Structure 1
Amino acid sequence: MTNPWFETVAEAQRRAKRRLPPSVYGALVAGSERGRTIRDNGAAFADLGLAPHVAGHHAERDLSTTVFGIPVALPVLISPTGVQAVHPDGEVAVARAAANRGTIMGLSSFASKPVEEVVAANPNTMFQVYWSGDRDVMAQRIERAKAAGAKGLIATLDWSFSHGRDWGSPWIPERLTLKAAAKFAPQALRRPRWLASYVRSGRVPDLTAPNLQPPGGEAPPFFGAYGEWMSTPPPTWSDVAWLRGLWPDAPFMLKGVTRIDDAKRAVDAGVTAISVSNHGGNNLDTTPATIRVLGGIADAVGADIEVLLDGGVRRGGDVAKALAFGAKAVMIGRAYLWGLAANGQGGVENVLDILRAGLDSAVLGLGKRSIHELCPEDLVVPRDFQLRLGADDDAMPEVDSPIFVEAEALARRHDVAPTPG
């Protein structure tokens, strides 16, 4: 019998690929279009170095911090992801794991578990919303999250209509009808452990969005929720300020910032935090890796609001690099989903433990007592690595610039490219 414990996030991904039906795994790993951004997210971390000391290290290191006003044991938060069909317990298992490791849970409004159950599993839950539906609908959803005990809001705006994939998108049914189940059966039968987990739970994969359920109505299917979002006119900065005003005394994070000018507009709109994010490579392809744009954004607004990063974090050293560039914390998505697929709640805890151990090793090697001492001088930064998008002194590079060419070469060398199927 395979030892349920694994040593790296890469091993969690390998186990997830062996365990999950190809359509489910394919939905997790691949970015939009040619997948250039998702590759650069990982390759950029690999190209960024650390500058360790040889002596004078500290026997004890402090990895704790405060994010959104909430004390956390490590600066790694759970990023909201929708429809977690990788395990029957889905977001509830993830929330319990995050609570056991002393960190914050981000819950997607497209999640497969209701906010009430997730908050019960982890009181330090942030509820994520899209700009979807009319204002009355959005206000109702936020009031429900507030009543459930969520600590604040994450507004995700870094998602456009760029959804095609060069290698093909996985088949996902709108609802798990008998016809859909029959079509999906050959995949499920090839993954007996995944199928058995649902049989034991007495449930089938939930493809609805219970957190979008209207009062007295039914939860919409995922593609129904997706259709609502696509048909909603995109928000303005005034809309962002209005959204923030629905819950003015709670933390409010705007997710999807990659430009300095947008970060400054977010401060003006009243947000308390931003996530430097490109939606894990699922937004506009050829957007630069988030670690490349983090430093300029943190320099511009880090004194006014909390700056977080997500995208490409797979190791504790990646966390250290983000903190050294000015991030308060990082958020992970695919990494914990692979852990969830590999071993349920224990797999998510395993991933968080891996990142904690790697971060502690980096803090030790860099000669620091605390993560708060990490700084840019701890990094080996290649020439032209950092980008200042939306600043007066710079412009976005051409997509065929040496930065992107090098990123693709690194992706192949380090085998970070997605491998659907």
Structure 2
Amino acid sequence: MSEHKWFETVAIAQERARRRLPPSVYKALLAGTEKGVTYQANMSSFGDIGLAPHVVGQPAERDLATRVLGQDVSMPVIISPTGVQAVHPDGEVAVARAAAARGVAMGLSSFASKPVEEVVAANPQTLFQMYWMGDRDSMARRMERARAAGAVGLIATTDWSFSNGRDWGSPAIPQKMDLKTILRRAPEGLRRPSWLLEYARTGRPPGLLAPNLVEGDEPAPGFFDAYFQWMQTPPPTWDDIAWMREQWGGTFVLKGVTRVDDAKRAVDAGVSAISVSNHGGNNLDSTPAAIRCLPAVADAVGDQVEVLMDGGVRRGSDVVKALALGARAVLIGRAYLWGLGAGGQAGVENVLDVLRGGIDATLMGLGRASVHDLVRDDVLLPEGFVQTLGAGASARNLHATSA
């Protein structure tokens, strides 16, 4: 990326993405349910955490490398799976290449716009993500396809409902990009000529299909067809999660945990890791920020499974704070999407470099030589910061009743 295109913060990447993307595409990335309380809290809560720096004797070099989900990575940051990355023609393949170039593992959504085979080829450290949708036979076939493609792990996402709209309005997402839709949206695209030119060079409109949900010789379903199938599937039970884990047979992440009792049930189901997450504020609004739920969950099960966290990470110091509070690594979503929208693969690499630089600088300030040296005393938490969900008597009774 040339010097004039380089950005020094994720906030600048977001602003460049806003100027470059059609307004409806940008607003779709900005999504958060209802009033956006949780979406905003995910980010603002990091600012409530203080740091306790040293001023003399800091290590001259810092080691950011770690091992998470069975993968050796250059830093404790993982690409979180996000669906239909039509902000750039190369979509998830561009993100996978950027992640591979920076030594980072890639999470691929089952609602992605690129097939799992292409993404794994671009980044062998790819984990495939699935929702509980359809019947068990179809889910088993999806898992087998991901396994055959070389996916190194499975992420089961359970923190998404889309049951409510946004108070400030949501952009209308088309069912498909047919000629009528293209003509209707042409004025919006013409306002962003550089973005439009990228797609014009490919000879095809933005893809709104989900190729990883193909069944046999059928054509790939559209995003809303897949969404409808998900809505028609009854939510999973803990027995269903245990079945998924057993069916997969390898590294298995349960994403969407905020409660201690759920974390313990996840351990009972045999998961390899959990991600403390509220789907980036896209699930049940007024759920506490993920970083506030992390310490209690990590204290409860961190000695039994790997604990990850996602939601609101925009800086390297955010990553360090999460690690100090018990996370093995963090997953990022909108942060890399802003990079993808601002500059494709190079933009994603830029975002990862920004985070790496911030992690390194924060470790130095704290006097820590490695991400593995971080402890709870490295951060300062205001009174009442930690939100412990599902650890009271009522939660224990619920656990006993549902067991």
User: TM-score under structure 2 normalisation?
Assistant: 0.96
In the alignment, is residue 193 of structure 1 matched against residue 220 of structure 2?
no
Question: Does the residue aligned with 1:326 lie in a helix, a strand or coil?
Answer: coil
Greater mean alpha carbon deviation, residues 180-189 or residues 258-267: 180-189
Deviation at 1:216, TM superposition (A): 1.0
- Return the alpha-carbon distance in structure 1 between the equivalents of residues 36 and 207 of structure 2: 28
- Return the alpha-carbon distance in structure 2 between the equivalents of residues 246 and 15 of structure 1: 43
In the alignment, is residue 316 of structure 1 matched against residue 299 of structure 2?
no
Corresponding residue number in structure 2 for 1:7 = 8
Deviation at 1:68, TM superposition (A): 0.8
Gaps of 5+ in 1: 396-421
> Any idea what the Cα deviations from partners look like across 1:259-315, whole Å, max 9, x if unmatched?
000000000001000000000000000000000010010011000000000000000
Question: Does the residue aligned with 2:100 lie in a helix, a strand or coil?
Answer: helix
> Any idea what the Cα deviations from partners look like across 1:343-365, whole Å, max 9, x if unmatched?
10000000000000000011000
Corresponding residue number in structure 2 for 1:181 = 182
Matched residues, number = 394
> Any idea what the Cα deviations from partners look like across 1:318-355, whole Å, max 9, x if unmatched?
00000000100000000000000101000000000000
Code of the aligned partner of 2:270: G
- Return the alpha-carbon distance in structure 1 between the equivalents of residues 11 and 202 of structure 2: 28
- 1:45·1:318 contact (CA, 8 Å) conserved in 2? yes
In the alignment, is residue 100 of structure 1 matched against residue 101 of structure 2?
yes
- Return the alpha-carbon distance in structure 2 between the equivalents of residues 393 and 93 of structure 1: 48
Corresponding residue number in structure 2 for 1:272 = 272
Deviation at 1:183, TM superposition (A): 1.4
Gaps of 5+ in 2: 396-403
In the alignment, is residue 136 of structure 1 matched against residue 144 of structure 2?
no
Corresponding residue number in structure 1 for 2:21 = 20
Correspondence list, 1:16-415, <5 A:
16-248=17-249, 250-392=250-392
Deviation at 1:392, TM superposition (A): 2.2
Aligned alpha-carbon RMSD (Å): 1.2
Corresponding residue number in structure 1 for 2:399 = none
Corresponding residue number in structure 2 for 1:398 = none
- 2:13·2:342 contact (CA, 8 Å) conserved in 1? yes
Deviation at 1:2, TM superposition (A): 8.2
> Any idea what the Cα deviations from partners look like across 1:126-184, whole Å, max 9, x if unmatched?
00000010111100111000000000100001011423011111011111011111111
Deviation at 1:201, TM superposition (A): 2.3
- 1:162·1:282 contact (CA, 8 Å) conserved in 2? no
- Return the alpha-carbon distance in structure 2 between the equivalents of residues 178 and 121 of structure 1: 31
Question: Does the residue aligned with 2:166 lie in a helix, a strand or coil?
Answer: coil
Greater mean alpha carbon deviation, residues 156-165 or residues 335-344: 156-165
Code of the aligned partner of 1:109: S
- 2:33·2:162 contact (CA, 8 Å) conserved in 1? no
Code of the aligned partner of 1:359: I
Code of the aligned partner of 1:392: G
- 1:107·1:127 contact (CA, 8 Å) conserved in 2? yes
Question: Does the residue aligned with 1:3 lie in a helix, a strand or coil?
Answer: helix
- 1:70·1:124 contact (CA, 8 Å) conserved in 2? yes
- Return the alpha-carbon distance in structure 2 between the equivalents of residues 182 and 120 of structure 1: 35
- Return the alpha-carbon distance in structure 2 between the equivalents of residues 8 and 60 of structure 1: 23
User: TM-score under structure 1 normalisation?
Assistant: 0.92
- Return the alpha-carbon distance in structure 1 between the equivalents of residues 139 and 394 of structure 2: 37
Code of the aligned partner of 1:335: A
- Return the alpha-carbon distance in structure 1 between the equivalents of residues 348 and 377 of structure 2: 32
- 1:51·1:366 contact (CA, 8 Å) conserved in 2? yes
Identity across matched positions, percent: 67
Deviation at 1:4, TM superposition (A): 1.5
Corresponding residue number in structure 2 for 1:418 = none
